[in-house]
Amino acid sequence: MRVVVTGCSGFLGGEIVRQLLQRDCEVVGLSRRETPDLVRSGMTHHRGDLLDQTYLSRVIAGADVVIHTAAVAGVWGSWQHYFDNNVVASRNVLNACQEFGVSQLVYTSSPSVTFDGNDQRDVDESEPYPETWMCHYPHTKSIAESEILAADQPGGMRTVSLRPHLIWGPNDPHLIPRVLQRARSGRLRIIGDGNNVIDTVHVTNAAAAHLDAIDALRSRPDEAAGRAYFITQDEPVNCWDWIAKLCRVHGVDPPTKSISFAAAYRIGAVLETVYRVTGRSSEPPMTRFVASQLAKDHSFDIKAAKERLGYRPRINMEAGLQTLDGESVDR
């Protein structure tokens, strides 16, 4: 089976490649950055830009499966930047898959496509997209997700969208370093009452879910295809207790000071306005979206992923935290 993975140089994309190689798949990776470790492991790498349709067509031709993980994440930046990299790039991937008869397209989405700023406790995939958006990332991801799911064709290309929440694990370049850096500097505050419940997912499990999706699309396409699925550890945790554990694992004092959600939200709104008016490109230290993410519940019912994809977490929370022990983190 020839599998093309976009965003292979990313945290999740790289783990997906490694798990595919363990299955002896022929894996082709697409990214803007070089990936010498994955090439040494057996992946064929094509460096380029997903906005280049010629490049995409050349690489995707002959693929059986495409896993599209590449995206621009974050909470700040221009609409055009997010739209080009998350919507136009996904349309290019979709067009190339349709042109060359790819049988399966697995899209990496985000639970934030359903987030409207309010608590989400044990919600399932019936949760709708919000009517208004707090930042461009979830908005553009929702557009790409809806178009890819709409392209599902019985008897033709089958598509599925996965929504892993808060991916973490060894060598995480995003979530854990950001938390630790803020905690070390004393700038990390508990937002709200500190009792919000969240779901997370270890990178091993997030990647395995993509392979489960491939298997399900092949063995029971009519049951699995054309749907979105939340992907988690299936172990909801208190957000700030979990952050404290991450800090302690890495020898950092966890946050003890707090700020009300209302105050953090107001600060975020003011900073967004100031940064927008002054044209600053850097991310504000607080935004309305970040305040809401850190103060509200985010837990998800993954029954559909279990039943339709055969997904199960391969590594539980306790074992996952142990994979971080002794990890070298840039201080």
Alpha carbons 175 and 10: distance in angstroms, whole number: 13
Give the closest residue to 246 by CA, choosing from 163, 164, 327, 330.
Answer: 327
Amino acid identity at 77: G
Helix (H, G, I), strand (E, B) or coil at 292: helix
Active site residue 137: yes
Q: Indicate left, alpha or beta for 279 from its phi (over 0: left) and psi (-120 to 50: alpha).
A: left
Locate 46 and state its tokens: 């094509």
Of residues 137, 229, 265, 311, which has the active-site annotation?
A: 137
Measured in residues, the chain has a length of: 331
Residue keyed to tokens 């136009």: 88
Residues classed as catalytic: 137
